[in-house]
Amino acid sequence: MLVNLDLHIHSRYSMAVSADMELAQIARGAAKKGVKIVGTGDCLHPLWLKSIRELPEEEGLRRLGDILFLLSVEVEDAERVHHLILLPDASKAEELAEAFSPHSGNLQQDGRPRLHLNGAQIADLALEAGGLVGPAHAFTPWTGMYAYHRSLSDCYQENADRIDFIELGLSADTDYADRIAELSDKTFLSNSDAHSPRTNKLAREFNQMRVEGCSFQEVASAIRREKGRGPTLNAGFFPGEGKYNRTACTRCFQQYSPVQKDEFMGRCPHCRGLIKLGVADRIGLLADYELPCHPPHRPPYIHLIPLAEIIALALGHKSPMTAGVQKQYEALTGDMAEIEVLLIEELEAMESAGAEAEVIRGIEAFRRGCVEVLPGGGGRYGQIRLPAWKKVRREKKQRSLFDFQPCEEEVIMKVPDDIDK
């Protein structure tokens, strides 16, 4: 069987997370999205773990309606690197919390605790508890492994060979990561790192895996690619949409080349803000290959745009949370999960469901890859534009929002003209 999974989210017990990140809200959003197994996030926090324990257990997972929760947590090490840990059950979460407790000052307060341990020590304790561990959003400039280390061995030392996965993060995809030779035998995970249960946040990136049933051990075997189990699809952002894709100022978001960053000694000449090296440029520095070299086990990667964001773009709304956008979203997802609407449902069926012509054309454009990506950087997300967007969005008498010829290119990546390539 094939299942969709989002294994990295956060609860309301983490900093800067919506108060709506409760189990019931998360389960509702996951069902709407089309994801079967969701990471709990923050499972070392005592109050969150108590809530998790109240759900019935099924082979290491916890059930709420049709959704299964897998115990997970993101932790920060002494060098600020973030690690994602997946655990087999609640008792192992308690065991790991006890092991981490002498090395943390905020384990009881923050769902994403800081630990006075390095990556190798964290891996030791996580593996001892029967968990799986790997770098979270491995390439991001503030807390990604490759922001501070040149290799897995540099971070995890003797445990490097026991690292089962690499989480790509929103600013990278398979093509980026498969330019690095040491990652060829690692499974790539694409997770949302959601801080809100809204459907444009939860499962905005997800994994599809082949398993024989739903249990922690089946998920672990799929990640390790054992016994015929394994990933069959990664799905997520166009990398340019990520907020750290390009090298940019963290204050005014002006983008620069790596050469310019060095020339300006890491400070923006316009506002004196800090210039952060983007994921695309960091990959270029780390890469062993000019082009991606995908190993045979690597599944396809599909670039996604959340349905609510497509609708907002198509209708000319500034936010995916407006009443008009939500009305169209509900019409399209009444009998079908969002992932199926985006990738599978016939366009004619969308019209029958009450979708506006502009929205249908927007979904069609997305499926054909007819989108413009204005890359993000410095902490600001990139922008997605649909065809002829500027020209037509305010023409009230126009019968159809999209009046364009079939697109022959997959993605148009637009980069500011003032970047020195």
* 290, part of any domain: no
User: What values do phi and psi take at 39, rounded to 5?
Assistant: -70, 145
Q: Where are the alpha helices (DSSP H) in 272-369?
A: 279-286, 307-315, 323-332, 338-343, 347-352, 357-368
Task: Assign 387 a pLDDT band (cuts: 50, 70, 90).
Answer: confident
pLDDT band at 412 (very low <50, low <70, confident <90, very high): very low
d(CA 72, CA 167): 13
Instruction: Decide if pLDDT at 399 tops 70.
Output: no
- The answer to whether 313 and 389 are in contact (CB under 8 A) is yes
Checking if the pLDDT of 392 tops 50, the result is no
Band (172; pLDDT cuts 50, 70, 90) = very high
Question: Over the stretch 257-304, which tens digit does the pLDDT of each residue have?
Answer: 999 999 999 999 999 999 999 999 999 999 999 999 999 999 999 999
Whether residues 124 and 220 share a domain: the answer is: yes
Domain shared by 232 and 320, yes or no: no
Which range has the worst mean pLDDT, 19-33, 203-217, 407-421?
Answer: 407-421
Task: Give Cβ neighbours of residue 60 (< 8 Å, ≥ 6 apart).
Answer: 70, 71, 88, 89, 215, 216, 217
In 3D space, the residue among 415, 155, 410 whose CA is nearest the CA of residue 278 turns out to be: 415
127, part of any domain: yes
The answer to whether residues 324 and 222 belong to one domain is no
- Nearest CA-CA partner of 67 in 95, 40, 92, 85: 40
Percent of the chain with pLDDT over 70: 92
Per-residue pLDDT for 396 more than 60? no
Comparing 210-219, 282-291, 397-406, the range with the smallest average pLDDT is 397-406
Q: Please calculate the CA angle 298-304-309 and round it to the nearest 5 degrees.
A: 165
Average pLDDT of the residues of the chain: 92
Give, for 165, the enclosing helix (H) or strand (E).
Answer: strand 165-167
Q: What is the pLDDT of residues 100-159, one digit of tens each?
A: 999 999 999 999 999 999 999 999 999 999 999 999 999 999 999 999 999 999 999 999
Secondary element (H or E) of residue 302: strand 301-303
Say whether both 220 and 323 belong to one domain.
no
Round to whole Å and give the CA distance between 376 and 85: 28
Domain boundary among 240, 263, 294: 240
Last-in-domain residue among 240, 256, 271: 240
Distance CA 236, CA 216 (A): 23
Sort 406 into a burial class: Cβ within 10 Å, 0-12 / 13-18 / 19+: exposed
Q: Domain of 9?
A: 2-240
Is residue 45 assigned to a domain?
Answer: yes
Confidence of residue 394 (pLDDT cuts 50, 70, 90): very low
Task: Indicate if 319 and 236 belong to the same structural domain.
Answer: no
State the CB neighbour count (10 A cutoff) for residue 291. Answer: 9
pLDDT more than 90, % of the chain: 91
The reply to whether 12 and 150 lie within a common domain is yes
Residue 65: CB atoms within 10 Å: 11
Higher pLDDT, 419 or 351: 351
* Count: domains in the chain: 2
pLDDT at 326 over 90: yes
Band of the pLDDT at 377, cuts 50, 70, 90?
Answer: very high
User: Is 326 found in the same domain as 217?
Assistant: no
Say if residue 397's pLDDT is above 60: no
Q: Give the residue from 186, 221, 240 where a domain finishes.
A: 240
Strand partners, 64: 67
In a domain, 298, yes or no: no
- Determine the average pLDDT of the residues in 416-421: 40
Token pair of 167, please?
């989480």
DSSP state for residue 3 in the 8-state scheme:
E
Band of pLDDT at residue 341, cut at 50, 70 and 90: very high
Interval 177-196 mean pLDDT: 98
Average pLDDT (403-416) is: 42
* Position 285 in a domain: no
User: Are 66 and 178 part of one and the same domain?
Assistant: yes
Residue 81 lies in a domain: yes
> For residue 415, what pLDDT band results from cuts at 50, 70 and 90?
very low
Whichever domain contains 235, its CATH number is: 3.20.20.140
pLDDT per residue over 46-67, tens digit each? 999 999 999 999 999 999 999 9
Tell me if 245 is assigned to some domain.
Answer: no
In whole angstroms, give the CA distance from residue 17 to residue 190.
20
pLDDT tens-place string over residues 232-245:
999 999 999 999 99
Same domain, 219 and 132: yes
Residue 312 CA to residue 320 CA, distance in Å, equals 5
User: Is pLDDT at 1 greater than 60 in this prediction?
Assistant: yes
Give the closest residue to 247 by CA, choosing from 372, 139, 135.
139
Could you tell me the end-to-end alpha-carbon distance of the chain, in angstroms, rounded to an integer? 46
For the record, the structure tokens of 180 come out as 């690095």
Do residue 352 and residue 206 come from a single domain?
Answer: no
| DSSP notation for 45-65 | SHHHHHHHHTSPEETTEEEET
259 assigned to some structural domain: no
pLDDT band of 388, cuts 50, 70, 90: low
Same-domain status, 93 and 217:
yes
Domain identity same for 187 and 324: no
Task: Find the range with the poorest average confidence among 168-177, 256-265, 408-417.
Answer: 408-417
Q: What is the mean pLDDT of residues 380-389?
A: 85
